[in-house]
Amino acid sequence: MNEQQQSKGVLYTAASFTLWGLFPLYWKLMEHISSGEILAHRIVWSFVFMCGILLYIKQVRPAIQTVKGLMMDGKALFSLLLSAILISVNWYVYIWAVNHHLMLEASLGYYINPLVSVLLGIIFLKERLNKIQTTAILIAAAGVMISTVQYGSFPVVAFLLAFSFGFYGLIKKRMRFTSAIGLTIETLLLAPAALIYLLFFLKEPVVTMQPGSFGSLGLLFFAGVFTAVPLLLFSEGAKRIPLYQVGILQYIAPTITLFLGLFVYHEHLSSAKIVTFLCIWLAILLFTTSQLRMKKTANSH
């Protein structure tokens, strides 16, 4: 792959993680709306927008063929349904955390996520760790334990985000269709439940067809757009650059979220959380160093 394509890959991938990191600014505009209502609208409008994207990139026919194939393959359909549920849990927890002043814990979850993905790879894919990677996992675990003991509470939000996205990635790793088709089918599977919730179970909807709620409806509509755009950027970027570069760039998102939590929304950073973040950052440094060494060794042979 030429240098120009790699530069585009870095730009697209960095842009996707930057947008993901800035998401809290958008969710904060909808603090007056319940997390469940935001999630349901996000699912519905993401599906609508992704259908438009498939039309634009001329992938409607492959998407229909994929759906037909899934209908004939119960195992694959179940896997995709499970991945859809996992990503909806991840979306809900993140929205809830941001709008309940837990942005720092949300950023911690996405710092932990790569380490969780490695752990899941060991358990389910029989992958092996070297000594440096093992040390990184143990340091991260120690940081979480210190926070739990000193602060008196386990970082539930961080672990829900890390493990829901980790399992989501594990399932998606075994699927062979594009991100655009995958997200469209996932939101298609979730859309009926989202619509039923909005129409029949939401007791006090903030968004109605009254003129006063059009602003909120607009925000919710564009949540679908902002869900799809970074994913498509990531899809275009990741295929142009090596995996280790993606691994380094992914820390842009939680770093931006951390800074937003600290300097824009002034969330409290306790001494216990500082220790946890320091342990996680040290673990990330060790893990990234190990990846770069492995890449260098592979290139030398």
Is residue 132 very low, low, confident or very high in pLDDT (cuts 50, 70, 90)? confident
Q: Does residue 111 register a pLDDT over 60?
A: yes
Residue 68: count other Cβ atoms within 10 Å of its Cβ: 10
The pLDDT of residue 301: 61
pLDDT at 27 over 90: yes
Report whether pLDDT(218) > 60: yes
Among residues of the chain, what percentage have pLDDT more than 90?
A: 48
Mean pLDDT of 173-188: 86
Closest CA to 93 of 214, 85, 202: 85
pLDDT of residue 271 exceeding 90: no
Residue 134 has pLDDT above 90, yes or no: no
Tell me the backbone φ, ψ of residue 298, rounded to 5 degrees.
Answer: -65, -40
Does residue 262 have a pLDDT over 90? yes
Do residues 54 and 64 make contact, with C-beta atoms less than 8 angstroms apart? Answer: no
166-174 own/partner pairs: CB under 8 Å, 24+ apart: 166/113, 166/116, 166/117, 166/119, 166/120, 167/86, 167/120, 168/83, 168/86, 168/87, 168/90, 169/117, 170/117, 170/120, 170/121, 170/124, 170/125, 171/79, 171/80, 171/82, 171/83, 171/86, 172/83, 174/79
**Predicted confidence (pLDDT) per residue in 142-175, tens digit:** 888 887 777 667 889 999 999 999 999 888 877 8
Residues of the chain with pLDDT > 70: what percent?
A: 93
SS (H, E, C) the chain: CCHHHHHHHHHHHHHHHHHHHHHHHHHHCCCCCCHHHHHHHHHHHHHHHHHHHHHHCCCHHHHHHHHHHHHCCHHHHHHHHHHHHHHHHHHHHHHHHHHCCCHHHHHHHHHHHHHHHHHHHHHHHCCCCCHHHHHHHHHHHHHHHHHHHHHCCCCHHHHHHHHHHHHHHHHHCCCCCCHHHHHHHHHHHHHHHHHHHHHHHCCCCCCCCCHHHHHHHHHHHHHHHHHHHHHHHHHHHHCCCCHHHHHHHCCHHHHHHHHHHHHHCCCCCCHHHHHHHHHHHHHHHHHHHHHHHHHHHHHHC
pLDDT band at 11 (very low <50, low <70, confident <90, very high): very high
207 band by pLDDT with thresholds 50, 70 and 90? low
Residue 267 is encoded by which pair of tokens?
């969330």
Predicted confidence band at 222 (pLDDT cuts at 50, 70, 90)?
very high
Average pLDDT over residues 246-260: 91
| Amino acid 167: pLDDT | 92
Distance, CA of 102 to CA of 125 (rounded, Å) = 33
**Cα–Cα distance between 112 and 131 in angstroms, integer?**
19
The stretch 241-252 carries a mean pLDDT of: 82
Q: What average pLDDT score do residues 72-76 get? A: 90
Q: Which residues of 44-61 are buried (b: 16+ CB within 10 A; e: fewer)?
A: bbbbebbeebbeeeebee
